[in-house]
Structure 1
Amino acid sequence: MPIDPGVLDVAVVGAGLGGLYAAYRLSASSRRFRVFESAPDVGGTWFYNRYPGARCDVDSLQYSYSFSEDLQQEWVWSERFAGQPEILDYIRHVASRFDLYRHIQFDTRVTSVEWDDRAAHWVITTDQGDTVAAKWVITAVGCLSTPKRPEIDGLESFTGESYYTNSWPHEEPDFVGKRVGVIGTGSSGIQSIPVIAGSAAEVTVYQRTPAYTMPAMNRPLEAAEVAAHKAHYPRHRAQERTSRSGTLVTGHSDSILAASDDEIHRRFEECWHAGSFGCALVSFADIITDREANDRLVAFVRDKVHTIVADKAVASALASWEYPFGSRRVCLDTDYYATFNRPHVHLVDVKKDPIAEVTPRGVRTRSGEREHDVIVYATGFDAFTGTLFRLGIRGRSGVRLEDAWAQGPRTYLGIQSSGFPNLFIVVGPQSPSLVVNVVRAIEQHVDWIMDALDHADAGGITTMEAAPAAETEWVSHVADVGYATLYPVADSYMTNVNVPGKPRVFMPYLGGFGSYGDRISRVAADGYPGFVLSR
Structure 2
Amino acid sequence: MANAPEQSDVVIIGAGFSGLYAVHKLRQTHKVVCLEAGDGVGGTWYWNRYPGARVDIKSVEYSYGFDEDLQQEWHWPEVFSAQPDLERYANHVADRFDLRKNIRFSTTVAALKFDESTDRWHVQTADGGRLVCKYVVAATGALSAPNTPDWPGREEFQGEIFHTSRWPEGPLDLSDKRVGIIGTGSTAIQAAPILAEQCKHLTVFQRTPAYSMPSGNRPMDPEHERDWKDNYADRRAQMLDTYGVSIIDYPAKSAHEYSPQEQREILEAGWNSKSAFQLMVAFTDVMTDRAANEVVCEFARSKIREIVKDPQTAEKLCPKDYPIGAKRLCIDNGYYEMFNRDNVSLVDVKDAPIEAFTANGLRTADASYDLDVIVTATGFDAVTGALTRIEIEGVDGTKLTDKWRDGPTSYFGYMVAGFPNFFMVHGPLTPAALAQMITAGEWQVDFIAGMIKDLENDGFSRIDTTSEAEQSWAAEVDGAASHTVYDQAQSWYNGKNIDGKKGGFMIYVGGFPRYCELSTNAVRNGYEGFVRQ
TM-score range, shorter chain: over 0.9
Moved more, 213-222 or 475-484: 475-484
The correspondence of residues 52-91 of structure 1 with structure 2, limited to 5 A, is: 52-91=51-90
- SS of the counterpart of 1:489? coil
Shift of 1:364: 1.8
Q: Distance in 2 between matches of 1:163 and 1:54?
A: 15
Map 1:75-154; keep pairs closer than 5 Å.
75-154=74-153
Aligned mates of 1:320, 1:414 — CA distance in 2: 32
Distance 2:246 2:484 in 1: 20
Query: What is residue 15 of structure 1 aligned with on the other side?
Result: 15
C-alpha distance in 1 between matches for 2:382 and 2:123: 23
Deviation at 1:519, TM superposition (A): 1.8
Q: Secondary structure at the match of 1:506?
A: coil
> Secondary structure at the residue paired with 1:322?
coil
**Structure 1 contact 214–275 (Cα < 8 Å) conserved:** no
CA–CA separation in structure 1 for the residues paired with 2:39 and 2:276? 34
| CA distance in structure 2 between the partners assigned to 1:158 and 1:110 by the alignment | 31
Question: 2:57–2:276: 8 Å Cα contact kept in structure 1?
Answer: no
Q: Matched residues in 1 for 2:249 and 2:367: separation? A: 49
SS at match of 2:64: coil
Equivalent position SS for 2:267: helix
- 1:78 corresponds to which letter in structure 2? P
| Shift of residue 282, structure 1, vs aligned partner | 1.6
Q: Write out per-residue CA displacement over residues 400-458 of structure 1, whole angstroms, 9 at most, x where no aligned residue.
A: 10101111111111110110000000001100011110112101110000111110111
> Pairwise CA RMSD of aligned residues?
1.3
- 1:296 maps to 295
Partner of 1:382: 381
The answer on whether the counterparts of 1:3 and 1:133 sit within 8 Å (CA) in structure 2 is no
One-letter amino acid matched to 2:11:
A
Contact kept, 8 Å, 2:408 with 2:503, in 1: the verdict is no
- The structural deviation recorded for 1:7 is 3.2
Which deviates more, 360-369 or 483-492? 360-369
Between the aligned partners of 2:204 and 2:466, the Cα distance in structure 1 is 48
Cα distance in 2, alignment partners of residues 368 and 38 from structure 1: 39
In structure 1, what is the Cα distance between the partners aligned to 2:185 and 2:423? 30
- What corresponds to 1:515 in structure 2? 514
1:173 lines up with 2:155 in the alignment: no
Give the letter for the 1:128 counterpart.
Answer: D
For each residue in 1:457-500, what CA deviation from the matched residue of structure 2 results, as whole angstroms up to 9, or x when unmatched? 11111000112221110012111211221111101111112111
| Aligned residue in 2 for 1:326 | 325
Q: How big is the shift at 1:145? A: 0.5
Please state whether the residue corresponding to 1:7 is helix, strand or coil: strand
* Superposition TM-score, scaled by structure 1 size: 0.97
Any idea what the Cα deviations from partners look like across 1:159-204, whole Å, max 9, x if unmatched? 0111110211113322112111111111111000000011211111
Q: 2 CA distance for matches of 1:43 and 1:452?
A: 26
Deviations 1:296-353 (A, max 9, x none): 0000000000110000100000013310000011110000000000011000111243
User: Which runs of 5 or more residues in structure 1 are unaligned?
Assistant: none
Secondary structure of 1:416's aligned partner: coil
Please state whether the residue corresponding to 1:169 is helix, strand or coil: coil
Q: Matched residues in 2 for 1:403 and 1:3: separation?
A: 32
Tell me what 1:425 maps to.
424
Label 1:32 to 1:254 Cα distance change in 2 as closer, same or farther (>3 A). same
- 1:4–1:133 CA contact under 8 A, matched in 2: no
Name the SS for the 1:15 alignment partner: coil
Does 2:402 correspond to 1:403? yes
Identity %: 40
| Secondary structure at the counterpart of residue 299 of structure 1 | helix
* SS at 2:40 equivalent: coil
Q: Aligned equivalents of 1:253 and 1:480: distance in 2?
A: 24
Aligned residue runs from structure 1 range 206-217, under 5 A: 206-217=205-216
2-side partners of 1:261 and 1:3: how far apart? 73
TM-score (norm 2): 0.98
Question: What amino acid is aligned across from residue 41 of structure 1 in structure 2?
Answer: G
Q: Is the 8 A contact 2:148 2:163 kept in 1?
A: no
Question: For residues 353 and 5 of structure 1, do their structure 2 counterparts lie closer, same or farther at Cα, with a shift above 3 Å needed?
Answer: closer
The 1:477/1:2 distance shift into structure 2, 3 A limit, reads farther
Letter in 1 for 2:349: V
Structure 1 residue ranges (4+ consecutive) displaced by more than 6 angstroms after TM superposition: none
**Residue 305 of structure 1: aligned partner:** 304
Question: Cα–Cα, structure 1 residues 419 and 3, in superposed 2: closer, same or farther, change >3 Å?
Answer: farther
CA distance in 1, matches of 2:494, 2:3: 40
Contact 1:113 1:393 in 2 (8 A): yes
Indicate conservation of the 8 Å contact 2:5/2:130, yes or no: no
Q: Deviations over 1:36-94 (max 9, x none)?
A: 11111111111110000000010111010110111011000001110101000000000
Q: Secondary structure at the match of 2:188?
A: helix
Q: Aligned AA for 1:477?
A: E
Partner deviation per Cα, 1:205-245 (whole Å, 9 max, x = no partner): 11001111100011111212111121111111111111001
Q: For 2:95, what is the secondary structure of its paired residue?
A: helix
User: Structure 1 CA distance, aligned partners of 2:464 and 2:194?
Assistant: 48
Q: Which shifted more, 453-462 or 515-524? A: 515-524
1:418 partner SS:
coil
Q: Counterparts of 2:75 and 2:115 in 1: how far apart (Å)?
A: 46
Q: Count matched residues.
A: 533
Shift of 1:2: 5.1
Letter aligned with residue 109 of structure 1: T
1:335 paired residue number: 334
Deviation of 1:152 after TM superposition, in Å, equals 2.5
Residue correspondence of structure 1 range 246-325 to structure 2 within 5 A:
246-325=245-324
CA distance in 2, matches of 1:278, 1:358: 36
| Cα deviation 1:258-308 (Å, max 9, x = unaligned) | 222232112211211123343211211111111111110000000000110
Does the CA contact (< 8 Å) of 1:242 and 1:515 recur in 2? no
Q: Hey, what's the Cα distance between the residues in 2 that align with 1:137 and 1:526?
A: 25
1:453 aligned partner: 452
C-alpha distance in structure 2 between counterparts of 1:250 and 1:119, whole Å: 52
**Partners in 2 of 1:203 and 1:26 — Cα distance?**
47
Shift of residue 3, structure 1, vs aligned partner: 7.1
Paired residue type of 1:261: P
Name the CA distance, whole Å, in 1 between partners of 2:340 and 2:328: 24
